[in-house]
Amino acid sequence: MAFKFRRTLKIAPGLRLNLTHRGVSARVGTKGAGYTVNTNGSQHVSAGVPGTGVHVSKQLTPGRKRKHKSLQTADEGSASPSFGRIVRTGFFMALGGLVVIIVLAMVK
């Protein structure tokens, strides 16, 4: 039996944060259309007609492949992170900070 986890947090109108057992993604858009980016760099754009089941999705950029730790060499582990990874990390750190600020503002 496989266990999975999925949680969607509505941050603001049109902005959602999706938490799953595989990672975090952010979605911007309405019910009918949206743009999604996740922590492995994958970007998707989608559109649909709400309530009909008609939906189309296009992957803009593929995410990086996960490598098993036993397959990585010592050189791969010491390589400097790419610019895109640094930007994505900064984006999600800023988004996390925004979530904390919003939650703290709602608690008061």
Domain ranges of the chain: 6-62+82-107
d(CA 47, CA 49): 7
Residue 47 burial by Cβ neighbours in a 10 Å radius (0-12, 13-18, 19+)? middle
| pLDDT value at 16 more than 70 | yes
More confident residue, 72 or 30: 30
Distance between CA atoms of residues 34 and 49, nearest Å: 12
95 confidence band (pLDDT: 50, 70, 90): confident
- 71 has a pLDDT exceeding 70: no
pLDDT at 49 over 80: yes
What is the band of 3 on the pLDDT scale with cuts at 50, 70, 90? Answer: confident
Closest CA to 38 of 89, 4, 104, 99: 89
